[in-house]
Structure 1
Amino acid sequence: MKNLLRNFEQIFVAKHLLFWTLIAVPVALAAGSAVALFLWLLDLVTVFRWQHEWLLYLLPLAGVVIHFLYKLAGKNAEAGNNLIMDEIHQPGGGVPARMAPLVLATTLITHLFGGSAGREGTAVQMGGSLAQLLGRWFRLKPGDIRIILMMGIAAGFGAVFGTPLTGAVFALEVLAIGRIKYNALLPCLMASLFADIVCNAWGIHHTHYDIQFPASLDYLLLLKVIVAGVAFGLAGNLFAVATHRIKKLGNSVFKTQQWLMPVTGGCVVILLFFLAGTGDYLGLGVTSKDPGGISIVNAFRPEGVADWSWLWKLVFTAVTLGMGFKGGEVTPLFFIGAALGHTIAVYTGAPVDLFAGLGFIAVFAGATNTPIACTLMGVELFGADHVLYFSVACFTAYYFSGHAGIYAAQRTAVSKLGEE
């Protein structure tokens, strides 16, 4: 009898997976295509800004446009990633379909006029919004709506960075600190993988990063990685706290005239541009207008960034996002981490490319409380040769970042001190 039940159980499992495979296909088609469009347009507006540097001086005006777009048409869509996570935790009003075009347009505006922001938030919001729309069309039950929203997160994240395994685990891990529920593991993996395939099919190519340092277990180097992991965790915490506090201060000061918040933020970014003496901290930061400029790619090379490049990017991005502009936090976190890793390597005699790669993933791990996903990201982006160092850096950063994170809707299931 038990064997018979087990056989029936496998049939039910197969039926369950077939159902979610059929759901994953349209989710991936929608999210992967939307991300491809976004990345293509993002490249266009970035190059256009490089060719017309005076656009930066219109950033305050762009902030007003973004503010009123959300005020007139956004409704609850302005909550962004946090709205999607809240809907997964406790279904309510749903994720509006308008979120996808709104965040696409406003992120492109932010980048066109020189705001320092990323792309993950936009991809995840488009994925979540489109997934919710499909869930309504398919008339899914509330429990299944939670899963399809997680699939939207996975699809958006996996497609925008070309890291499908990371996208799947990130969608599960980011919801609550210290606990992962596996009920959506395969649906998220399928959605993320298919979305990445769709995005690539549109001709989108992701930036290649290379760590040349040969793989070996060096205990002195491992100690340096642990110390660096502490610094990466503190940097992730600093970014999260700074962004939240700037936003809170802005909302307090401009309570009655909130359109002045992005105006002020735009003016501050312009001031920071003059103080820094370079435009390399504007925009995405993956590459720069000058091939020899400060960027994520050049952080992997000796003398590719300055000692304090990581802090400059942190301040630029915290002001941009905290004062109401749109975009993601993750790519700036990559920049902050890679630049900080470069600086630590220079002063500790460690390999620059390895430590830039460690910072790239570990600051992200600390700021989002997703050490497993970030370790897997290291493997997908840089190869598996240094996976031990990846895990040590990400896990250490996770603990030393505290319980603050960039997502306010992220819950604490198990404290980092071991308390439930």
Structure 2
Amino acid sequence: MFKNFLAFVKYLLRWVVIIVLVAVAIGSMVAFFLWLLTQAIHFRFAHTWLLYLLPAAGVVIHLLYKWYGQSAERGNNLIIDEIHQPGAGVPKRMAPLILITTVITHLFGGSAGREGTAVQIGGSLANLFAAWFKLNDADKKIVLTAGVAAGFGAVFGTPLTGTVFALEVIAIGSIPYRCFFACLIAGYIGDIIVSLWGIHHTLYHVNIVNTGQTLYGIQLPVSLWLLGKVIMASALFGLVSYAFAQAVHTVKNILLKLIKTTWVIPVAGGLAIIALTYILGKPDYLSLGVDAEYPGAVTIVSAFQHGGADALSWLWKLIYTAITLGTGFKGGEVTPLFYIGATLGNTLADLMNAPAGLFAALGFIAVFAGATNTPVACTLMGIELFGGHYAIFFAIACFTAYFFSGDGGIYTAQKTALAKTDLAKSKYVKRMFGKYRL
């Protein structure tokens, strides 16, 4: 008995050492990336003419991946595939390549995110450590999953979300709990390291409003009228998630068919972004959309206030991002999804006479949940970012959007353990409700 206990302690300590080392390395590189990204974005704010070089920047990115990228071009999908079935591995060059090309994308105004970069940094470094420690395929899966958790938790300052996201994103409808402990350590260490490097995350504020209701003299904890509004809005969030995923894939597929000279595709994308910005007359939909380029600009932060977004801000951001990512620029989808969701929530709040801050927060996490098929992680993100006061609404919004977003998503390598449309056929549902006829 004592011998077994010692073996377990030895096993546990070994994993703690490995995961801590991996997470420290990932957290440090993510901190450097976030610092560099902020410098690039604010440099463009001060030199707006850089936008006109976006087509040329696209060609540079294309050539970098053509000459040096190899399998790294597949990005997050490669990491997910490696977690499913370790094969050729995640190339060492993935981390520096995605870091450099993401910064280039934002420096010249492309509409992209940063989660893809952090996840690929995490996967690339985790794969490197797996080789150093000579881990077998089963242990390599754990380290890669932990690397995703560390990268995601570090880049957004949401370690618990990063933990669950890394587990939930692998397969729709399934969470591999075997990796939970490693991901939990990695997510928190990654986040701590970013903080120790002096990097601060954006804070969002949701005003507390009374969400209760008195019905026939009985005090209900949740207003049924508000709940109905949340469900209707969340269904729309899910449909927009579906539209976003389809738009990115469609832009890429159509241009590959129409343009045979591949380096021309990012040129076309860059020119389209320049033309749209000229037509709209403002740069609000370029880059991350977190910091304001000028007073009164529509940003994720402004969407949490009444009047903080235009009626179609969400649609323009969707179009900008689909063009940017669909034509080969690099970054990620998640921060644009935050922008789309928050501004759509702001618009729906005005239409439904609902709290703007609450609906912006719901859109922020629900559009992300629908596009990535990670409703549990996104519910936790709502709690980590906005507090637990509206936790029930966060859960309802994320799962409603998840069911309305279809069986696909932005990650084509995601497996389907249980399709949403097949939920009613599952043995668990039949076991619970099989004796009832509806």
TM value normalised by structure 2? 0.93
**In the aligned structure 2, how far is the partner of 1:270 from the partner of 1:13?**
59
The separation in 1 between residues aligned to 2:296 and 2:269, in whole angstroms, is 28
Per the alignment, residue 200 of structure 1 pairs with 195
Partners in 1 of 2:416 and 2:407 — Cα distance? 8
Pairwise CA distance, 1:83: 0.4
Paired with 1:43 and 1:269, the residues of 2 have a C-alpha distance of 21
| Counterpart in the other structure of 2:180 | 185
**Does 2:21 match 1:21?**
no
For residue 17 of structure 1, report the CA deviation from its aligned partner.
2.8
CA distance in 2, matches of 1:348, 1:102: 45
Cα deviation for residue 215 of structure 1 reads: 5.1
Matches within 5 A, 1:13-412: 13-214=8-209, 216=211, 217-255=222-260, 257-412=261-416
Q: Distance in 2 between matches of 1:223 and 1:388?
A: 13
Partner deviation per Cα, 1:108-141 (whole Å, 9 max, x = no partner): 0000000000000000000100010011011111
Change (3 A) 1:391 1:8: farther
Give the deviation of 1:364 after TM superposition: 0.1
Give CA deviations for 1:177-214 in whole Å, capped at 9, x if unaligned. 11111110010010010010001000000000011133
Moved more, 119-128 or 22-31: 22-31
2:107 & 2:80 partners in 1: Cα distance? 28
Q: Is the 8 A contact 1:88 1:146 kept in 2?
A: yes
Q: CA deviation at 1:404?
A: 1.6
Tell me the CA shift for residue 16 of structure 1.
3.4
Pick which of 14-23 and 359-368 moved more: 14-23
Q: How many angstroms apart in 2 are the aligned matches of 1:370 and 1:409?
A: 14
CA deviation vs aligned residue, 1:327-357 (integer Å, no higher than 9, x gap): 0100000000000000000000000000000
Residue identity in the other structure for 2:193: V
**Structure 1 residues 190-246: Cα deviation after superposition (integer angstroms, max 9, x where no partner):** 001001000100000000001113353211111100001100000110000000111
Paired amino acid for 1:186 = F
Corresponding letter in the other structure for 1:343: T
Sequence identity (%): 58
Alpha-carbon distance in 2 for matches of 1:278, 1:32: 35
- Which amino acid in the other structure matches residue 234 of structure 1? L
Q: In terms of mean alpha carbon deviation, does 98-107 or 288-297 score higher?
A: 288-297
Q: Residues 8-49 of structure 1, C-alpha deviation per residue, up to 9 Å, x if partnerless?
A: 766555443322211111111111001100000011000000
| Residues 124/219 of structure 1: CA separation in 2 closer, same or farther (3 Å cut) | same
- The whole-number CA distance in structure 2 between the counterparts of 1:244 and 1:12 is 49
Aligned-pair distance for 1:277? 1.7
- Residue number in structure 1 paired with 2:431: none
- In the alignment, the residues of structure 2 paired with residue 180 and residue 13 of structure 1 have an alpha-carbon distance, to the nearest angstrom, of 24
Between Structure 1 and Structure 2, whose CA radius of gyration is higher?
2
**In structure 2, how many angstroms separate the alpha carbons of the residues matched to 1:206 and 1:8?**
46
1:414 aligned to which of 404, 418, 431: 418
3-state DSSP class of the match of 1:296? Answer: coil
Distance 1:8 1:251 in 2: 61
> Does structure 2 conserve the Cα–Cα contact (< 8 Å) formed by 1:213 and 1:351?
no
Kindly provide the amino acid, as one letter, of the partner of residue 232 in structure 2. V
**Distance in 1 (alpha carbons) for counterparts of 2:406 and 2:27:** 33
User: Unpaired segments of 5 or more residues in structure 2?
Assistant: 212-221, 427-438
Amino acid at match of 2:321: T
Q: Is the contact made by 1:276 and 1:312 (CA closer than 8 Å) also made in structure 2? A: no
Aligned partner of residue 29 in structure 2, secondary structure:
helix
CA-based RMSD: 1.2
Which stretch shows the higher mean deviation, 282-291 or 148-157?
Answer: 282-291
Checking the alignment, whether the CA contact within 8 Å between 1:67 and 1:259 is kept in structure 2 is yes
Q: Using the TM superposition, give the Cα deviation of residue 250 of structure 1 relative to its aligned residue in structure 2, in angstroms.
A: 1.8
Match of 2:436 in 1: none
C-alpha displacement at 1:77, in angstroms? Answer: 0.5
Change (3 A) 1:254 1:138: same
User: How far apart are the structure 2 equivalents of 1:9 and 1:170?
Assistant: 33
CA–CA distance in structure 2, aligned partners of residues 311 and 33 of structure 1: 35
Task: Answer with 298-307 or 16-25: which moved more.
Answer: 16-25
- 3-state SS, counterpart of residue 340 of structure 1: helix
The residue type paired with residue 43 of structure 1 is T
Equivalent-residue separation in structure 2 for 1:105 and 1:264 (angstroms): 21
Distance, in Å, in 2 between the alignment partners of 1:373 and 1:107 is 25
